[in-house]
Structure 1
Amino acid sequence: MNDGESGRRVIDGRFELQARLGGGGMGMVWRARDLVLDRDVALKEVRPTDPGLAEYDPHAAAMLRARVLREARALARVDHHNVVTIHHVVDTDAYAYPWLVMELVTGGSLQDRLDKRPLEPVEAARLGREVLAALRAAHDVGIQHRDVKPANVLMRPDGRPVLTDFGIAAIRESTTLTVTGSIIGTPDYMAPERITGGEGGPGSDLWSLAMMLYVAVEGHHPLRRGTTLATLAALLSEELPPPLRAGALTGFLNAVLVKDPARRADAETADRMLAEAAEGRGAAPGALDGAGAATSYRLAPPPVSTPTPSVPAGFGPPVGFGPPTGFGPTGPHDAVP
């Protein structure tokens, strides 16, 4: 790092930092100027919460560095207009961790937009279909995103979404960076099968996308609780309340927000349902098409109260997954994962 004539930090003698765009627990994203190509870019600076990490825990620092490089490789392998483009990686002895040089997306994030107002169902369906296209492109080259959420969907000035932050992407042939017992991802949008310790698959990304769209149209997360553990417990043991504002998007949400991944709609079905919802013609729940196939999925009916025999402790049904549809009346839960 050195100083340019303006006194601003210059990374690798080429990228002049101009302003902070945002950050999280593991780093900062900067707006920068590429002095060689004379264009604006985004620089992702990895910065652990503890600056002394490399000194007292070299193994953890090496894992973090490997994860950053894995993000760069993941992004480079996905060539799609709805995925942020990576231009360059600065990886020299002058810096403890690599810097990622990426396309600058200037329209803010979906989270910024949702902070102002929820989306209309048709608008959410159009956005969701583009994010789904980005996910399918990643899945085609063996990459799962694993952290789809509003903050990781950036907006171009023309309103088109761009999926970013593949920092915890799971590349199928590179599983050594998974840390046993750790939670990788944002709990609010994590698929149930991943909460229970499974690696999940592409369908887990579909769940996250559907939950993101649920939040986008309803204006709130249906199962967010006061703590991370309480949220995880709710995602496992409580039913999602049926959406009230989803309109034509309801069929898609009902088909994808299914706790059993084996019964969850696949990407092709999800895309078709989003396309219909984007045109405002999503079928009413339970409707059938001309061939007799369900074009939407019926919401779970309220459960019928029936007396249940007492069961000795330890012999009851497994806690965690509700009815296959995932939607239903919110009820009390008495187990924490």
Structure 2
Amino acid sequence: MRKRVIDDRFELVERLGGGGMGLVWRAWDVALHREVALKEVRPPDPDMDQHDPEGARELRARVLREARALARLNHPHVVTIYHIVDSGDSGYPWLVMELVSGGSLQERLEHGPMTPQDAARLGREILSALSAAHAVGIQHRDVKPANVLLRPDGRSVLTDFGIAAVRESTSLTATGSFIGSPEYISPERINGVEGDPASDLWSLGMLLYVAVEGRHPLRRATTLATLAAVLNQDVPPPQRAGALGPVLGRLLTRDPAARPDTGSLDRMLASVADGSAPMPGPGWAPGPPPQKPPYEQP
């Protein structure tokens, strides 16, 4: 069977994954003779071009803007974008990226949880990637183990920033499904607030919780039940986090303003990674939810 070739250069070899945001393929660059990852970012609603052509054009433009911003980043823990295939108004762009061959963090965690020290080292790498993206105005919005790839030497690479463009350009329920991962999205974003870089830090905290505990504390049987749990239920104290526990408590507070800034967070993670952080006492708990304004009499 003849293989599909994109832009007369990238030969699709096999599908690596995909979802509401598009498909990812292993591909062969026939010009440079190397393997690459190819992704077409698409809205979850396949009929968007017909019923909302203006929105579809804006989505394409936004994807291109954010892809170009990411392509300018030269960061060891952000996936490298080599090339953008822009087909204009006739289709959505294809992103040509480095192929990271070591598997995902999600696959790694299927073999068991991480130690607090290893999780803290991983957290610093992901944090540095987020900080670099935030510095050019891009929030990730879908930090989760499946979007952290691992190189053969163990170093991590944060990928799949495409949701940043798609989530703001389409309805969350365009096809009756939720865009993003409900168990990792921050409470304020579930509430419809765009959030800021601190919202990505909630997601990072939840990722690290899962990495050391081996389970998600708020995942429920359905998407709606999970969203309700993230919004309303306390995060149970971790049992395996050790010195990482207080860091998780700072991150998994529902008040974005109470989460640490990136500099403070990096120092906290560094102290856990090098073993200098003290072990927490009993009674760990995440920070309190945001205070509601006092009721005003009419």
Alignment TM class, shorter chain as reference? 0.7 to 0.9
Q: Counterpart of 2:137?
A: 142
For residues 122-159 of structure 1, give each alpha carbon's deviation from its aligned partner in whole angstroms, at most 9, with x where no partner exists.
Answer: 11111111000101111112211111111111111111
Q: Conserved in 2, the CA contact under 8 Å of 1:67 and 1:168?
A: no
Whether 2:279 is the aligned partner of 1:279: answer no
Whether 2:85 is the aligned partner of 1:100: answer no
Taking the aligned partners of 2:196 and 2:36, their CA distance within structure 1 comes to 32
Alpha-carbon spacing, 1:94–1:32, altered in 2? closer, same or farther (3 Å): farther
Q: CA deviation at 1:75?
A: 1.6
Taking the aligned partners of 1:227 and 1:59, their CA distance within structure 2 comes to 33
Taking the aligned partners of 2:105 and 2:167, their CA distance within structure 1 comes to 32
Instruction: Out of 98-107 and 225-234, give the one that drifted further.
Output: 225-234
- SS of the residue corresponding to residue 87 of structure 1 reads strand
Q: Counterpart of 2:255?
A: 260
Alpha-carbon spacing, 1:189–1:177, altered in 2? closer, same or farther (3 Å): closer
Q: Counterpart of 1:114?
A: 109
- SS of the residue corresponding to residue 188 of structure 1 reads coil
1:192-211 aligned within 5 A: 192-211=187-206
Alpha-carbon spacing, 1:177–1:94, altered in 2? closer, same or farther (3 Å): closer
Equivalent AA in structure 2 for residue 299 of structure 1: W
Equivalent AA in structure 1 for residue 82 of structure 2: H
1:98-247 aligned within 5 A: 98-169=93-164, 177-179=168-170, 184-247=179-242
Q: CA deviation at 1:56?
A: 5.1
Taking the aligned partners of 1:176 and 1:166, their CA distance within structure 2 comes to 11
Q: CA deviation at 1:278?
A: 0.9
Taking the aligned partners of 1:113 and 1:184, their CA distance within structure 2 comes to 24
Alpha-carbon spacing, 1:101–1:95, altered in 2? closer, same or farther (3 Å): farther
Q: Counterpart of 1:323?
A: 288
For residues 289-311 of structure 1, give each alpha carbon's deviation from its aligned partner in whole angstroms, at most 9, with x where no partner exists.
Answer: xxxxxxxx97249xxxxxxxxxx
Q: CA deviation at 1:11?
A: 1.0
Alpha-carbon spacing, 1:96–1:121, altered in 2? closer, same or farther (3 Å): same
Alpha-carbon spacing, 1:300–1:86, altered in 2? closer, same or farther (3 Å): closer
The sequence identity of aligned pairs, in percent, is 65
Q: Conserved in 2, the CA contact under 8 Å of 1:224 and 1:231?
A: yes
Whether 2:17 is the aligned partner of 1:29: answer no
Taking the aligned partners of 2:132 and 2:283, their CA distance within structure 1 comes to 30
TM-score, normalised to structure 2's length?
A: 0.87
Q: Counterpart of 1:299?
A: 284
For residues 30-60 of structure 1, give each alpha carbon's deviation from its aligned partner in whole angstroms, at most 9, with x where no partner exists.
Answer: 1111111111111102455665553455345
Alpha-carbon spacing, 1:101–1:160, altered in 2? closer, same or farther (3 Å): same
Taking the aligned partners of 1:49 and 1:262, their CA distance within structure 2 comes to 32
Decide which of 1, 5, 12 is 1:17's aligned counterpart.
12
Taking the aligned partners of 1:181 and 1:251, their CA distance within structure 2 comes to 33
CA RMSD, 1 decimal: 2.7
TM-score, normalised to structure 1's length?
A: 0.77
Alpha-carbon spacing, 1:254–1:157, altered in 2? closer, same or farther (3 Å): same
Question: Which protein is bigger by CA-based radius of gyration?
Answer: 1
Q: Conserved in 2, the CA contact under 8 Å of 1:110 and 1:155?
A: yes
Q: Conserved in 2, the CA contact under 8 Å of 1:143 and 1:169?
A: yes
Q: Conserved in 1, the CA contact under 8 Å of 2:124 and 2:270?
A: yes
Equivalent AA in structure 1 for residue 155 of structure 2: R
- SS of the residue corresponding to residue 189 of structure 1 reads coil
Structure 2: 5+ residue stretches without partners? 291-298
Q: Conserved in 2, the CA contact under 8 Å of 1:79 and 1:137?
A: no
Equivalent AA in structure 1 for residue 288 of structure 2: P
